[in-house]
Chain A
Amino acid sequence: MADLRVNVCGVPFKNPVIAASGTFGFGKEFNEIYDISVLGGISTKGLTLEPRLGNPMPRIAEGYGVILNAVGLQNPGVEEFVREDLPFLRGKDAVVIANVAGRTIDDYAGICARLDGLVDMIELNISCPNVKCGGMAFGIRPESVKEVTRAAKSALKKTPLIVKLSPNVESIAANALAAQEGGADCLSLINTLTGMVIDIERRRPLIANNTGGVSGAGIRPIAVRMVYEVCQAVSVPVIGMGGITCAEDALEFIIAGASAVQVGTANFTDTLAMPRIIAGLNDWLDRHGVPNIEELRGTLRLNG
């Protein structure tokens, strides 16, 4: 048995596999299929101070090896989460990460203050491509990345802050640095890439929101490249994600420098994807005589 434990800015994970925000709800549904305590962590559905209804239907479409979604942050609001869902998550043996979003800087600070000390980590969603204000609006320019990160960080006394970065930017490394300067304890990337699928018969986009966030196996090479670039640029730990479907995919991100990984779309294709990835990591490490997964982190050697 290899040692899969990782430590991300002081938070111990029993393995580096985390459910990605928006694909796993608050864990209750997948827990009907397997005990979600096997996971390293769970990043919740994006939360806002007030409940949100999200975007009109349809909210999902498929491309080759990818999907597009535009749910638009539908969620019950932070108070219902604290009352109804957090006790369940706290009862599970996995790191609880609250993914949070807002319309204004004050919203971000407010929801961080509300959840401070109640969850293990907070993941600042400044990269949702599917809402008109807030979300990605804060995640495009380094100046606003730094500003919203600073506001969130100053609202937090106990809980470490992850900033989730958008790939739909000029330089993700520049934004990563801006988040670090704003006080981020950790970074996660990549959120979805903005895309469009057209119904040629109706000559309309398939998704009601017109554009959606592209995720799934097909985006993995882009995500690996961005995680590598960000790991080179910053000193805080990085959580990598984007198209991970198996243990070998996860290892690419870890070798590129990520401390842990998130798995999203693969949960749709295979509800047991994450338990399989955890078992697969153990098998791979054992087969390669690597006793500890942390030994692999950032071991990439470039050609030439």
Chain B
Amino acid sequence: MKDLRVTVLSNAPIAAGVNQMTFSLPERVEGLRCGRFVNLSVGDGAHLLRRPIAICEYTDATVTICYQIKGAGTKLLSQKKAGDELTCVLPLGNGFVLREEERRVALVVGGVGVFPMISVLKEYAGTGRAFCSYIGFRNAASVCGEKAFRAESERVSLVTDDGSFGEKTNAVAAFFADFDKAKPDVILSCGPAPMLRALKAGLAERGVKVPCYVSLEERMGCGVGACLVCVCDLANGARARVCKDGPVFEIGEVTL
């Protein structure tokens, strides 16, 4: 984990209200992995909190993130130009880890949850695994990241809430409709809380015993595990830090 001054290389829209930013690292950073995140300053002095954003792609010298322009902070980020400098703490969180025996991987994804999943696809491409991807968006204008899923998945179901792109359904329903064909050894999921709740309920209803890992989102303070701002409830009654103990948790371990 390092706090570095990074340089924006590119920053442009890729879908309605979603930008992709690539920045260069001033030095080699250990531990860049899929499902981990960066905590990026917005660099104006008025917004004191950094913005935690999932790593989408990385090389030894660059990191690419994609972010929804939602509030004042992400709006400021969207105005950064190539050459601008920002400070960034990275890499943070635990990330997704696939065990050797987990060969068939189902990805159940909603909205901007596609970006951490793209990091999974990129990292595990070429390991001989079969990915089945079930991706839901609000509408056709918000569809993004499709290419990466098509390139690396054995099966892809891309659906929208309003039917303006693909079938009119949601990612969880599409996943369960295809479950027998996907035959997953492991399920990875990232998306809005109602989607994760529906996935958890669906798994319980069908008695699915396949391990399932979800990436959670929460408003963060320090981002490094010190301030206890971004906690989640665990099934055992305790609380865990989303930034440090997560953001990836086994779905049965957390109360969604």
- Residues of chain A touching chain B, judged by Cβ–Cβ distance below 8 Å, are 22-25, 29-30, 32-33, 45, 53-54, 57-62, 64-67, 69, 71, 74-75, 216-217, 265, 267-272
Q: Bound complex: CA of A45 vs CA of B227, how far in Å? A: 8
Q: Is the CB of A268 within 8 A of B239?
A: no
- Residues of chain B touching chain A, judged by Cβ–Cβ distance below 8 Å, are 1-3, 41, 45-50, 72-73, 87, 89, 218-232, 238-239, 244
Q: Is the CB of A24 within 8 A of B226?
A: yes
**B-side interface mostly:** loop
Picked from A22, A32, A64, A265, the residue with its CB within 8 Å of the CB of B46 is A64
15 contacts between A and B (CB under 8 A): A22-B228, A23-B221, A25-B226, A30-B224, A33-B89, A33-B224, A54-B239, A60-B219, A60-B220, A65-B45, A69-B227, A71-B229, A216-B48, A265-B48, A268-B50
Report B217 CB to chain A, min CB distance, Å.
11
Q: Is the CB of B222 within 8 A of A62?
A: no
Report A-chain residues with C-beta under 8 Å of the C-beta of B47: 62
Report B-chain residues with C-beta under 8 Å of the C-beta of A54: 228, 231, 239
Picked from A69, A217, A269, A271, the residue with its CB within 8 Å of the CB of B224 is A271
Q: Is the CB of B45 within 8 A of A268?
A: no
With A23-B222, A57-B219 known as contacts, the answer to whether A29 contacts B244 (CB < 8 A) is yes
Report A-chain residues with C-beta under 8 Å of the C-beta of B1: 32-33
Report A-chain residues with C-beta under 8 Å of the C-beta of B45: 65, 217
Taking CB as reference atom, which chain A residue is nearest B220? A60
Q: Bound complex: CA of A194 vs CA of B30, how far in Å? A: 40
Report A-chain residues with C-beta under 8 Å of the C-beta of B41: 269-270
Report A-chain residues with C-beta under 8 Å of the C-beta of B2: 33
Report A-chain residues with C-beta under 8 Å of the C-beta of B87: 270
Report A66 CB to chain B, min CB distance, Å.
7
Known: A30-B224, A71-B228. 12 other contacts (CB 8 A): A29-B226, A33-B2, A57-B231, A59-B229, A60-B49, A71-B229, A74-B228, A75-B228, A267-B226, A268-B223, A268-B227, A269-B50
Q: Bound complex: CA of A71 vs CA of B223, how far in Å? A: 14
Report A37 CB to chain B, min CB distance, Å.
17
Report B-chain residues with C-beta under 8 Å of the C-beta of A217: 45, 48
Interface centre among A60, A64, A75, A216 (most CB of B within 10 A): A60
Q: Is the CB of A23 within 8 A of B227?
A: yes
Picked from A29, A53, A269, A272, the residue with its CB within 8 Å of the CB of B239 is A53
Taking CB as reference atom, which chain A residue is nearest B1? A32
Interface centre among B3, B47, B221, B227 (most CB of A within 10 A): B227
Q: Is the CB of B225 within 8 A of A268?
A: no
